[in-house]
Homo-oligomer: A and B are copies of this chain.
Amino acid sequence: MLKGVVVILKELKIPEATVSRLSVYSRYLTEVAKQEIVSISSGEIAEGVGGTPAQVRKDLAYFGEFGTRGVGYNVKQLNQEIMSILGLTKCWNVILIGAGNLGSALSQYRGFRERGFQIIGVFDNDLNKVGLKLNGLPIYAVTQMADFVEKNDVSIGIIAVPAEYAQDIADILVETNIRGILNFAPVVLTIPEEVEVRNVDLTVNLEVLTYNIERR
């Protein structure tokens, strides 16, 4: 069945907002499964994540028929399908670049490990930090980064350095086999098409908030 699903996905353009919500649904379903609840309705999912039942049904409909009318969704099965869609049936090796405050916060962000993202190394260009640990993770020099990525099958690099260094770090990363970059630096990176990049822009979030406040 999964193969069929993947074929459909390649033809459909799924809105990014839907993908984001699938991630949220999946984490909620993981919590629900821990309580040994077997089935769940779209209404219950919506209530759990702060959405609407119609939105939940619409989001899940992109991936075919998971639920049974009147019965709801099997919690574990639905969660497994979503995790498979999101690429989370395996672990991802991740490195973090930047051992400052943001890097420190990210290195201990519990949510990452719970979802299969393993930060296995931290890199910084401050040689005073190299050799120390950041929340238990070894800090290496940026000059060691390319070698580390190749040897440890690293797929994702999280950039948490000041804006002025972010492009240099990205340039090193894209020369390796890295597949994706999550960028926290407030700068638009120039990245070749082979590497997927996603910018986390903290200011955007505040501005969407003020937009919504002002529209009330």
Residues from chain B with a CB closer than 8 A to the CB of A43 are: none
We find that the number of chain A residues with CB closer than 8 angstroms to chain B is: 61
Residues in B whose Cβ lies below 8 Å from that of A110: 186
Q: Name the B residues within 8 Å of A10 (CB-CB).
A: 215
Q: Which residue of B lies closest to A215 (CB)?
A: B9
| Also in contact, A207 and B86, with CB within 8 A (given A24-B201, A196-B216, A212-B196) | yes
Is A203 in contact with B112, judged by CB distance below 8 angstroms? Answer: yes
The answer to whether B16 and A17 touch across the interface, beta carbons within 8 angstroms, is yes
In the complex, A92 has a CB within 8 A of chain B = yes
Q: A202–B102 contact, CB under 8 A?
A: no
Cβ of A57 within 8 Å of any chain B Cβ, yes or no, is: no
Kindly name the residue among A102, A209, A214, A215 whose own CB sees the greatest number of chain B CB atoms within 10 A. Answer: A209
10 pairs of A and B residues whose beta carbons are closest in the complex = A87-B214, A102-B105, A101-B105, A87-B210, A23-B207, A111-B203, A101-B104, A23-B204, A198-B209, A180-B209
25 residue pairs A–B, Cβ–Cβ below 8 Å: A9-B215, A17-B17, A19-B207, A22-B207, A22-B211, A23-B204, A24-B201, A24-B204, A26-B207, A27-B203, A49-B188, A94-B206, A104-B105, A110-B186, A111-B202, A111-B203, A112-B206, A115-B203, A115-B206, A156-B210, A179-B213, A180-B213, A200-B200, A200-B202, A200-B205
Q: What residues of chain A have their CB less than 8 Å away from a CB belonging to chain B?
A: 9-10, 16-17, 19-20, 22-24, 26-28, 48-50, 85-88, 92, 94, 100-102, 104-106, 108-112, 115, 117, 155-156, 179-180, 182, 186, 188-189, 196, 198, 200-216
